[in-house]
Amino acid sequence: MFFFIIRRLLVSVPILLAASFVMFGMVTISGDPLAEFRQSTDPNAPQTMATMRQVLELDKPFAERYFDWLGGLFQGDFGLNRDGQEVSALLSNAIGTTLRLIILATIASILLGLFIGIVSAVRQYSLLDYSSTFTAFLFFSLPVFWVAVLLKEFGAIRFNDYLERPGLSVLGIAILTALTALFVAALAGGSVQRRATAGAIAAVVSVVALVIIDATDWLTNPGLSLPVVILLSLGASVVAAMIYAPLSHRPVVISAAVAALVGVIGSIVADSFIQDGGFGRLFLLLVVSLAVGAAAGMLLGGEIDRRAAVQAGMTSTFFVGTIVVFDRFVSAWSPGRTIGTVNPKPPNLDEPFWETMVVYAGHQIMPSIALALVGFATYMRFTRASMLETMHSDYVRTAKAKGLPATQVILRHAFRTALIPVMTVITISFATAIEGAVITERVFAWNGGMGTLFIEGLQEVDPYPVMGFLVVVSISIVVLNAVADIMYAYLDPRIRR
């Protein structure tokens, strides 16, 4: 496995070198950096041109410039832009902004895409399948910046307006309830009666929740109360248990529920610790909660179900952690125009952690959604197709013939193998996301991002910032490619060696 990874990475080196040469050439021929000065009547123009020649090393032959640049690259020197600034300094600021956007969008689109993809394959020809298919095709057909403009208007500006005077009309409650009920009914599947029951329950829950939200003015002062946290956590623990074993395996369910309760109690005990925040602490909490889940499984799983109980316990505490973090997060939300439409402010370090996070998220959310749409559609379609293929395969029929419950057949047999081809899509959709990010950053006026570096560099015929962007992009594509291959090998024993 180790040598597989090394070999995989070594293969990419010549490709990267060749690509960088081609790109350097392309950037060089894309235009004349001195064009604007040649026509200029400014008496200083020859002077400026001379400086520019110096900075951009225009007098050297192309090959020499390339190798100089390449040599510098290995020492961390990305060259200078036309104003004489270090490109590496510009890049290090830009990478954080842009990668945060892309990674967030990619993770969101993978999670949602896989989930909806599985459901619409399992419920093939259902209303849910048809509507998610239509949605996916719609997302495929949307120009990114057109969506971004709409999101900026409706998702940010008008939503902020709404939040200044929030409230739910009867019509609003009715529409939201109807949508929830339809979605849950479609998710439930099975006989008409079963679906109707599920839909009705969802409708009641939705109406109650929305009325409470409206009555308590939740939207101006959001937050989950302790009973809600406990209720959600227990629900999440049952879901976690269902992933690993049928509900008749009591030790698994009990482990998950106990782990969830311990997690909630722990979060109350560690209240001030969590409130202070910080990524290090959050990571520590993650580790601790996973350990709690595992311990609950070990202790309560018994000999027969230990493995499933440990997995269920860990998943359960992970869910609880997510709920607790979400609670802190929305509690820190203060009324105001939180959804950002312009360049993100540099975070104010004096602000408390959770408030800073809210500011970050406010700026992140709309660009991320704009970017995630295409990725979501891609993952959803791919997962669906791959799932349909495996669900009709002989080994899934064998799994059914064993008498396994449907969840196990779907998750352990159909989905596990369906995931293998889906891995290959990650790279492609990442590359698309980079191009989308260039555009999204521009719509939301993120001036410090890599997109700006790239576009402005191109427009001003400023080769080194453009090259800096390209180096980062192609290295991340190559690394991601390797990661996808490694995951592939991990998931598929046939190509493991």
Q: Which of 213, 157, 219, 156 is nearest to 180 (CA)?
A: 213
Nearer to other proteins, 328 or 381 (CB): 381
Q: Write out the two tokens for 429.
A: 């959709």
d(CA 150, CA 137): 18
Distance CA 280, CA 260 (A): 22
CB of 351 to other proteins, least distance (A): 32
CB of 251 to other proteins, least distance (A): 10
* Binding range to other proteins, per CB under 8 A, among 277-285, 310-318, 320-328, 437-445: 437-445
Q: Which residue in the set 6, 13, 15, 269 belongs to the binding site for other proteins (CB under 8 A)?
A: 15
Say whether residue 299 binds other proteins (CB under 8 A): no
Residues in contact with 379: Cβ distance below 8 Å, sequence separation at least 6, in sequence order: 109, 110, 112, 113, 114, 117, 422, 425, 429
Residue 6 Cβ vs other proteins, minimum distance, rounded to whole Å: 19
Should residue 431 be labelled a site residue for other proteins when binding is judged by CB under 8 A? Answer: yes
How far is residue 423's CA from residue 382's CA, in Å, rounded to a whole number?
10
Spatial separation of the C-alpha atoms in residues 224 and 84, rounded to whole Å: 52
Residues 156-195 that bind other proteins (CB under 8 A): none
In whole angstroms, what is the distance from residue 121 CA to residue 201 CA?
24
Residue with tokens 């395996």: 249
For other proteins, the closer CB: 281 or 442:
442
Decide if 455 contacts 352 (C-beta within 8 A). no
Residues 33-72 that bind other proteins (CB under 8 A): none
> Does 492 participate in binding other proteins (rule CB under 8 A)?
yes
Indicate which single residue of 2, 3, 29, 165 sits in contact with other proteins (rule: CB under 8 A).
Answer: 29
Contact call for residues 295 and 263 (beta carbons, < 8 A): no
Q: Which residues are paired to 86 by β-bridges?
A: 80
Pick the binder of other proteins from 156, 473, 482, 489 (CB under 8 A): 473
434 interacts with other proteins by CB under 8 A: yes
Cα 433–Cα 441–Cα 99 angle in degrees, nearest 5 = 50
CB of 435 to other proteins, least distance (A): 5
Nearer to other proteins among residue 320 and residue 455 (C-beta): 455
Site for other proteins in 105-144 (CB under 8 A): 124, 137-138, 140-144
In the region spanning residues 442 to 461, those forming contacts with other proteins, defined by CB under 8 A, are: 442-443, 454-455, 458-459
Binding residues for other proteins restricted to 373-412, rule: CB under 8 A: 385, 388-389, 392-395, 397-406, 408
Subset of 140-159 contacting other proteins (CB under 8 A): 140-146, 149, 153
Question: Which of positions 225-254 make contact with other proteins (CB under 8 A)?
Answer: 249
Q: What would the x/- binding string for other proteins be over residues 198 to 217, using CB under 8 A? A: --------------------
Phi, psi at 32, each rounded to 5°: -100, 115
Closest to other proteins by CB, 364 vs 474, is: 474
d(CA 229, CA 232): 5
Cα dihedral: 116, 117, 123, 127 (round 10): 60
